[in-house]
Amino acid sequence: MTAATAEGLEPFDIAHPEVWDDYAQCFHFFLEAHDIADAGKKRSTFLSRGSPATFHLVKVLMAPAQLKDIPFETILASLRDHLGPKPPELAGDAKSTAATRHRVSLPPPASLPFEPRRSTATSMTSTLRYGTD
């Protein structure tokens, strides 16, 4: 979690992306407590108080634009998108499977040129129930 220092707020620890949302909320309170309302000053405060690793990440995410030209809220949104939880890979697989199902059209069962074989389980059930196969 985020911790306070003598100056106010510790820099965000990029090694723990799972606490980004908490840190961002805490940073907004820090800005409010220090009467920082100007968007440019918010950006400067965030970038100058952050860790070198966070600064580098922001720089990479915002490339090729200059950081001085990027709105503060855009920087926060970009970090949120980058550090936020990723959807499980299974969800992606389900989407691609569903898409594949829509692309593949199988002929209706009545148009098959042969009689499908009944499974052994079906044959056994018929034999046990009716005495025939």
- Distance separating alpha carbons of residues 116 and 65, to the nearest angstrom: 63
Each residue's pLDDT tens digit, 72-98 = 999 999 999 999 876 666 655 555 555
> Could you tell me if residue 130 is inside a domain?
no
Q: What is the pLDDT of residue 50?
A: 87
> Could you tell me if residue 128 is inside a domain?
no
- Give the domain range for residue 59: 4-83
What are the backbone dihedrals phi and psi of residue 58, each rounded to the nearest 5 degrees, phi first? -60, -45
> Could you tell me if residue 34 is inside a domain?
yes
Q: What is the pLDDT of residue 4?
A: 47
> Could you tell me if residue 121 is inside a domain?
no
- Sorting pLDDT into bands at 50, 70 and 90, what band is 33? very high
Q: What is the pLDDT of residue 8?
A: 75
Q: 58 with 19: CB under 8 angstroms?
A: no
- Residue 26 in this model has a pLDDT that exceeds 70: yes
> Could you tell me if residue 117 is inside a domain?
no
> Could you tell me if residue 67 is inside a domain?
yes
> Could you tell me if residue 37 is inside a domain?
yes
Tokens in use for 92?
A: 């992606």
Number of domains in the chain: 1
